């Protein structure tokens, strides 16, 4: 009887495995999952308009954030932990620009032909860029807290620690973006699929949006603590040293810059995260699909606003960017002038090659006259 029961178990186990494999949809294209989630379709003219305007705006995102990174690298006055982390935030916005370009040209009918792997790459780029921006803002908040509590313009973090923090930020961000492709998805259970991301499970959307909202609250709490401390410290300094208070305002300027960046980030991303949370909670009456496009545009806007904030709030940053643009402009002008000057030179050389025979004839004539 023991042998018979063992045979029954060995016979039934492969059958269970094969039926389980058949219920997973790894080889389906995304059109299958869009039909399951009820995704709305793009109008062709509307999609072309979005691609043209979006491409121009994404070019601005890429160029402006690249200029911020170049400014931090070239200007030695920016070689401090705060600006290194700010450059890393610009790098995450730069990645967001690449992710948006990839998203725009893989939307509409093209997105329905994507493989599961292609969709994971498309969404993974967006998730990594957002996670990196959020993690950078959290690290900058901690760095500002350390420096302000010691009443210094810059913290005492060494370059090695700053590099470790940057590596940690990107490691966590890549992990957060790769979690769905590692198994937290609904490919084997279509009933738990979300509407906004057809192959992401609703439980993952709840985790992702809720964790980001919690980080928002933590950052707001840190900056409220910094603000109250600075206000109290400034009041004490004003009462005792009215003349030197302006010299101590430099850490406050950096805090104001970061608080504006954080405020814009919260305004641009909170509505989208709330909608993702509602989708994860399977809110049928929320109509989340209608809010998908405007909220995505609001998120794209954030990556273009940040470099403008850096330039507007930091005069040294704006001066450095202007100098870099002048260098680029002068370099292109020199290239054009050298190309333009190269053409007459070649013609002079051609005429120069034709001169010697006539001069030889003149010399022969002069020699004959002498004789």
Which tokens belong to 363? Answer: 């010399």
Q: What angle do CA 174, 175, 177 make, to 5 degrees?
A: 65
Decide if 183 is inside a domain: yes
The pLDDT of residue 333 is 61
Decide if 178 is inside a domain: yes
User: Is residue 135 predicted with pLDDT exceeding 70?
Assistant: yes
**What confidence tens digit (pLDDT) does each residue in 148-177 have?**
887 777 778 888 999 999 999 999 999 999
The pLDDT of residue 132 is 93
The pLDDT of residue 334 is 64
Q: What mean pLDDT do residues 126-135 have? A: 92
Mean pLDDT, the chain, integer: 80
- Cα–Cα distance list, 44 to 109, 197, 366 (Å): 9, 21, 82
Q: What mean pLDDT do residues 234-249 have? A: 59
Q: What angle do CA 321, 322, 326 make, to 5 degrees?
A: 115
Integer Cα distance of 78 and 120 in angstroms = 37
User: Is residue 108 predicted with pLDDT exceeding 50?
Assistant: yes
The more confident residue out of 363 and 256 is: 256
Nearest to 269 by CA among 211, 228, 221, 323: 211
Decide if 22 is inside a domain: no
- Which residue is listed with tokens 């498309």? 122
Range of the domain at 309: 40-329
Q: What mean pLDDT do residues 131-142 have? A: 90
Local confidence band at 98 (pLDDT 50, 70, 90 cut-offs): very high
**Cβ-based neighbours of 270, under 8 Å, separated by 6 or more:** 213, 216
User: Is residue 343 predicted with pLDDT exceeding 80?
Assistant: no
User: Is residue 311 predicted with pLDDT exceeding 90?
Assistant: no
Local confidence band at 239 (pLDDT 50, 70, 90 cut-offs): low
Question: Which DSSP state fits 217?
Answer: H
**Cβ-based neighbours of 176, under 8 Å, separated by 6 or more:** 127, 128, 131, 208
Report CA torsion sign: 336, 341, 342, 347. positive
Which tokens belong to 224? Answer: 């409220």
The pLDDT of residue 336 is 62
Integer Cα distance of 106 and 84 in angstroms = 33
The CA radius of gyration of the chain, in Å to the nearest whole number, is 31
- Cα–Cα distance list, 135 to 101, 174, 217, 262, 318 (Å): 23, 11, 13, 12, 25
Element (H, E) at 317: helix 315-370
Decide if 348 is inside a domain: no
Domain count, the chain: 1
Count the neighbouring beta carbons within 10 Å of the beta carbon of residue 347. Answer: 9
User: By mean pLDDT, which of 80-84, 246-250, 255-259 is the weakest?
Assistant: 246-250
The pLDDT of residue 59 is 93
The pLDDT of residue 286 is 83
Decide if 10 is inside a domain: no
Which tokens belong to 228? Answer: 């109250």
Which tokens belong to 350? Answer: 């051609």
Using a pLDDT cut of 70, give the percent of the chain over it: 78
3-state secondary structure of 98: helix
Decide if 31 is inside a domain: no
The pLDDT of residue 332 is 64
The pLDDT of residue 352 is 44
- Which residue is listed with tokens 């985790």? 207
Surface-to-core class of residue 66, CB atoms within 10 Å of its CB (0-12 exposed, 13-18 middle, 19+ buried): middle
Decide if 366 is inside a domain: no
Nearest to 77 by CA among 315, 286, 328, 296: 315
The pLDDT of residue 19 is 38
**What confidence tens digit (pLDDT) does each residue in 191-202 have?**
889 888 889 999
Determine if residue 211 is left, alpha or beta; phi over 0 gives left, psi from -120 to 50 gives alpha, anything else beta.
alpha
**282: CATH:** 1.20.1070.10
The pLDDT of residue 42 is 78
Integer Cα distance of 64 and 87 in angstroms = 12
CA dihedral 299, 303, 307, 313 (to 10 degrees): 30
**What confidence tens digit (pLDDT) does each residue in 40-91 have?**
677 788 888 888 988 999 999 999 999 999 999 999 989 999 899 999 999 9
**What confidence tens digit (pLDDT) does each residue in 1-27 have?**
444 444 444 334 333 333 333 478 888
User: Is residue 293 predicted with pLDDT exceeding 70?
Assistant: yes
Q: What mean pLDDT do residues 77-106 have? A: 92
Decide if 341 is inside a domain: no
Local confidence band at 207 (pLDDT 50, 70, 90 cut-offs): very high
Integer Cα distance of 344 and 38 in angstroms = 66
């Amino acid at each position: 009887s023991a042998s018979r029961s063992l045979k029954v178990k060995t016979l039934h186990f492969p059958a269970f495995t094969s039926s389980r494999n058949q219920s997973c949809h790894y080889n389906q294209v995304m059109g299958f999952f869009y039909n399951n989630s009820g995704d709305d379709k793009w109008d062709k003219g509307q999609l072309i308009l979005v691609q043209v305007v979006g491409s121009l705006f994404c070019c601005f995102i890429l160029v402006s954030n690249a200029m911020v990174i170049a400014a931090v690298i070239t200007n030695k006055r920016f070689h401090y932990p705060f600006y290194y982390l700010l450059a890393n935030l610009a790098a995450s916005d730069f990645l967001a620009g690449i992710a948006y370009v990839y998203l725009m040209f893989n939307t509409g009918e093209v997105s329905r032909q994507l493989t599961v792997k292609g969709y994971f790459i498309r969404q993974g780029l967006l998730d990594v860029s957002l996670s990196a921006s959020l993690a950078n803002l959290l690290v900058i908040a901690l760095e500002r807290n350390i420096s302000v509590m010691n009443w210094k313009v810059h913290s005492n973090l060494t370059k090695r620690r700053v590099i470790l923090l940057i590596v940690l930020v990107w490691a966590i961000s890549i992990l957060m973006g790769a979690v769905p492709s590692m198994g937290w998805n609904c490919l084997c259970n279509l009933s738990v699929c979300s509407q906004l991301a057809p192959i992401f499970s609703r439980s993952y959307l709840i985790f992702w949006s809720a964790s980001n909202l919690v980080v928002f609250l933590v950052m707001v709490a840190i900056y409220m603590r910094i603000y109250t401390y600075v206000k109290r410290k400034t009041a004490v300094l004003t009462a005792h040293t009215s003349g030197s208070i302006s010299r101590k305002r430099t850490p406050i300027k950096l805090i104001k810059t970061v608080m504006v960046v954080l405020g814009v980030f919260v305004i641009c991303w909170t509505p989208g995260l709330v909608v993702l949370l509602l989708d994860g909670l399977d809110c049928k009456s929320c109509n989340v699909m209608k809010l998908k496009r405007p909220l995505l545009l609001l998120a794209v806007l954030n990556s273009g606003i940040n470099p403008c904030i850096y330039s507007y709030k930091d005069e040294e940053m704006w001066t450095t960017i202007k100098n870099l643009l002048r260098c680029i402009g002068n370099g292109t002008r020199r290239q054009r002038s050298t190309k333009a000057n190269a053409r007459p030179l070649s013609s002079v050389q051609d005429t120069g090659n034709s001169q010697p025979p006539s001069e030889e004839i003149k010399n022969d004539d002069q020699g004959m006259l002498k004789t």
